[in-house]
Amino acid sequence: MSTIKKIIYFSIFIYLLMSGLIIFYSESIKNLAKEQAKTAAQSHFNLMVDTRSWNAEYGGIYVKQHSGIEPNKYLKDNILKSDKNETLVKINPAWMTKQISEISNKRHKYYFHITSLKPINPTNKPDDFEIEALNYFEKNKNKEYYYKFKNNTNEEMHLDFIGALITKQECLKCHAEAGYKEGDIRGGIRITVPMNEYNTKMTLHNRIEITLLFLITILFIIFLLILKKYKQEVEKRLERDKALFIKSKQAAMGEMISIIAHQWRQPLAIISMDIGNIIFDLEMGDADKQDIISSAKEMDETLQDLSKTITIFSDIFKTATQSPGQLILISDVQEMLCNIIKKSDEFENIKIIKEWKSTKKTYILRNEFMQACYMILKNSQEAFEDKKIQHPTIISKTWDEGDFIHYTICDNAGGIDKENIERVFEPYFTTKSYNGRGLGLTIVKNIIEQMHKGTLSLKNHNDGICVHITLRAKE
């Protein structure tokens, strides 16, 4: 799997994870709002129960009768005359609950209702939800609360909450006739809580959630577009590098062919001269058999050398396979390269100092690696020629350091200006004053770093430049 595909899959995973976290956060907020509404209803119920307990503890309370307070007609001894002949209305727990509920229903958005399966007051008759809750309490004596979240006709959510009223000793004064005994559930107090206030909070959080999800989606799309653009650029760069490599190999081929021509020209001239001498001696009758045999052997050896030269050069231009290469010493490759260039006119006056101390092997694509090294040497040769260096020298070194093999090629061609040294690996950049293509070091970098997974660096050193190659040693 390519690196870009891994990045895409990882990005999708992060996007889905963030989306899931936002949705989870939204659901948590919704649940929190419901919990807050349920807690508020429970608090109101407990406060109502505490108020009723206080009333029942004193057997009810009396207040002066007025237009807002009427006696409970379902309560015995519901009025009392004071010494001043004032009518006092008895307020028992049930009547007080009803009065408080009516006041709360007018002043607040909450709705209270006291109810029972055996109501004394018909107005306390339960509706469907209250019947469902009271039956639930009958079957589950240990449960104190029952609630549901529902939508009304206007699609507005509300909480229907009902708390169980448990019969106590002081309650039997009024409810014993209905068959209740202490500990029985004789009814409940219903509290309906509108969720508007809580829904407002949920709506705000939902907007935040949608905004965050939208922003993450936009950022994710932008990231994918950037990644797509990057992938296209990478593909273009790979195609460009491939084209540069082909151009470089073609250029190197031309240079190598010129070396072949030089190495063949002189031996062929000698062979031609020997053949001419043999023909002349035969024509003159002065031919000596041993001389002819000796000349023939020399010509055969020369032809064998020419054949080997062709083999070496043909190997250089063979296409690399997908194999990791040959497990060989770098010095073996360098020796082979030196044998190729030693008879070249271009390298004839260049002194090459060999300090090959590495004893570790590594996998090398011989032909490509040799081409890279030849390009480095060729750069130095052209620099010598361009700057007219009097005593051109190249020092080739190899050494081992831990699990790594180091190889440097240093010359005394004067080095490269500081403003140019960082650009020498750019395609088509050249510091040569004539016929510079600017492809050599770009291809060298590709061969070393892409094909051999090594590192390549270049820096000025003393009176020249040093190219440093590092490869990992292999067993």
pLDDT in tens, 376-387: 888 888 888 888
Name, of 233-247, 286-300, 451-465, the range with top average pLDDT.
451-465
For the cut 90, the answer to whether the pLDDT of residue 430 exceeds it is no
What letter represents residue 20's amino acid? Answer: G
By DSSP bridging, strand 351-356 and strand 326-328 are unpaired
Write the CB contacts of 329 (distance below 8 Å, at least 6 apart in sequence).
358, 359, 360, 361
* Token code pair at residue 51: 């108020």
Average pLDDT, integer, range 222-248? 75
Average pLDDT, integer, range 38-58? 86
Residues of the chain with CATH 3.30.565.10: 322-475
Q: How far apart are CA 360 and CA 103, in angstroms?
A: 97
What letter represents residue 109's amino acid? Answer: K
189 touches 114 (CB < 8 A): yes
Q: How far apart are CA 236 and CA 232, in angstroms?
A: 6
Lowest mean per-residue pLDDT among 39-43, 60-64, 242-246, 432-436: 432-436
Tell how far CA 460 is from the center of its chain.
Answer: 39
Span 169-199, pLDDT tens digits: 766 666 666 667 777 888 899 988 887 766 6
- For tokens 């990478």, what's the residue? 234
Q: How far apart are CA 455 and CA 447, in angstroms?
A: 10
For the cut 60, the answer to whether the pLDDT of residue 434 exceeds it is no
Q: How far apart are CA 83 and CA 106, in angstroms?
A: 35
What letter represents residue 196's amino acid? Answer: N
Quote the pTM value.
0.42
For the cut 80, the answer to whether the pLDDT of residue 224 exceeds it is no
- Look up the CATH superfamily of 322-475: Histidine kinase-like ATPase, C-terminal domain (3.30.565.10)
* Token code pair at residue 47: 């406060």
